[in-house]
Amino acid sequence: MMSKIVRTMSNILILFVFVYGLYIIMHGHLTPGGGFQGGAIVASGVALLLVAFGSHNLHKSLKERHLSILESGGGLIFIGLAFGGLATIFFYNFLVGSPIFGHIPPSGPNPGDIWTGGVIPFMNLAVGLKVLAGFSAILLVMALASSRKEVEE
Amino acid sequence: MTQGIPFNVPFLAVAALIGIAFYIILSQRNLIKLVMGLSILASGVNLFLVTLGYREGGVAPIYTHAPIERMVLPVPQALTLTSIVIAVATLALMLSLIIRIYRHTGSIDSEESRTMKG
Amino acid sequence: MRKIAMAVSLSVFIAFLVATAFLIRPFGYPPSQMDDYIIENAQSETGTNNVVTAVVFDYRGFDTLGEATILFTAVAGVTMLFRRKRRE
């Protein structure tokens, strides 16, 4: 548990880090980035909260049960989208040309259009949720296992 | 061999990283230094994968606001993404096992915490 | 005795690595038949601007599926190692 200035500033900064990570996940089909990179950014924001508040105080509001629900949901959405195009082949991109996310960009360099990509933005969201929840759960469990109250028991 | 022997700086950097990593793994007894050596080995292999796909005077393979030049190969970059995440997962499991070994035997020296002596 | 064997094998291995770094093909001219096809046709077949994301999720989706499985196994292993006994 650090001083009052550090705790107040990390309370404010976690919002900006979360919005930035979500921006990088959702624009993964236009700019460099995607699911893995955005999930790692939000997990580093959770590490900031862990350093500022201490692992016992953070465990009162963020338990591993809720993180495991998030991770399993992300994995199931990924597998469900892979099975969705099974009419042709496994992992077929069945949303190219349809009204949801189905525009086709002009070939060559162009300013990006966000409604392109087919099934790829949903896959970015699923993998981003999985990586976010997985790395945060690993950090939380290891910090709890090596804190001072655990070692004294 | 009509051209001279090429002097590739990135591949020499990869050779240096892998050589240092193998020296650390073979000669240290402390378990945490061993894990650091494995992490340096993973970094060296990822660097080798990325520099295999570089084309002379190329730009990043993204079409949004792209300058008109040739593009770098995209497949080694995709393989490196997967390799980095796998290295992080392996590192987390190794560190958790080291914490359990320390609680069970009381030291993190690999010679003193052996429980299966012949 | 063990130190001599370790020094000899390590120096042979490092000599092999440095010789490979000099004799591999020159830096900047890779063979690229498959990647030329992917760069030409990624915008019309997948519909994205980002060719690396198209390769990770569409042309090579099975590698991403295996990597998601490895991440899930790692989290399950770490959580199982630090379980506390319930105190009744």
Tell me the domain boundaries of chain A.
4-152
Q: What stretches in chain C show pLDDT beneath 50?
A: 88
- Asked if residue B22 lies in contact with residue B41, where contact means CB atoms within 8 angstroms, the answer is yes
The pLDDT value given to residue C43: 87
Tokens 């949901």 found at: A73
The pLDDT value given to residue A88: 82
- As a whole number of angstroms, the distance between CA A22 and CA A28 comes to 10
- Kindly identify which residue of chain B lies nearest to residue A30, measuring between CA atoms: B64
The pLDDT value given to residue C88: 46
pLDDT per residue as tens, chain B (118 positions): 456 777 888 999 999 999 999 999 999 999 999 999 999 999 999 999 999 999 888 889 999 888 888 889 999 999 999 999 999 999 999 999 999 999 888 888 888 887 776 5
- Which residues span the domain enclosing C21? 2-81
- As a whole number of angstroms, the distance between CA B64 and CA A108 comes to 9
For residue range A114-135, list pLDDT tens digits in order. 888 889 999 999 999 999 999 9
Does C23 map to a domain? yes
What residues of B are in contact with residue C51 (Cβ under 8 Å)? 61-63, 71, 74
When CB atoms are compared, the residue of B67, B68, B99 closest to A146 is: B99
The pLDDT value given to residue B49: 94
Instruction: Check if A11 contacts B (Cβ < 8 Å).
Output: no
ipTM greater than cut 0.85: yes
The pLDDT value given to residue B95: 94
Question: What are the residues facing B59 on neighbouring strands?
Answer: B71
- As a whole number of angstroms, the distance between CA B7 and CA C19 comes to 11
Does C34 map to a domain? yes
Neighbour count for residue A77 (Cβ, 10 Å): 17
What residues of C are in contact with residue A85 (Cβ under 8 Å)? none
Does C62 map to a domain? yes
Does C59 map to a domain? yes
When CB atoms are compared, the residue of A28, A104, A134 closest to C47 is: A104
Q: Is C72 in Cβ contact with A138 (below 8 Å)?
A: no
Identify the band that residue A147 occupies on the pLDDT scale cut at 50, 70 and 90: confident
Contacts of A120 (CB under 8 A, 6+ apart): A28, A29, A93, C46, C48, C53, C54, C57, C58
Contacts of B41 (CB under 8 A, 6+ apart): B17, B18, B21, B22, B25
Distance from CA of A5 to the nearest CA of C (A): 33
What residues of C are in contact with residue A78 (Cβ under 8 Å)? 65, 68
Backbone angles phi, psi at B71, to 5 degrees: -105, 155
When CB atoms are compared, the residue of C6, C24, C55 closest to B78 is: C55
Number of domains in chain C: 1
Distance from CA of C51 to the nearest CA of A (A): 8
The pLDDT value given to residue A150: 67
The residue with greater pLDDT, A106 or B39, is B39
The pLDDT value given to residue C12: 95
Averaged pLDDT score across all residues of chain A = 90
Backbone angles phi, psi at C15, to 5 degrees: -65, -40
Neighbours of chain A (3+ CB pairs under 8 A): B, C
Q: Percent of chain A having pLDDT more than 90?
A: 62
For the packed helices B75-105 and B31-51, what is the interaxial angle rounded to 10 degrees?
Answer: 180
Distance from CA of C87 to the nearest CA of B (A): 20
- Asked if residue C53 lies in contact with residue B35, where contact means CB atoms within 8 angstroms, the answer is no
For B38, the token pair is 């494995």
- Kindly identify which residue of chain C lies nearest to residue A110, measuring between CA atoms: C49
Q: Is B15 exposed, middle or buried (0-12, 13-18, 19+ CB in 10 A)?
A: buried
- Asked if residue A130 lies in contact with residue A36, where contact means CB atoms within 8 angstroms, the answer is no
Q: Is A142 in Cβ contact with B95 (below 8 Å)?
A: yes
Does C36 map to a domain? yes
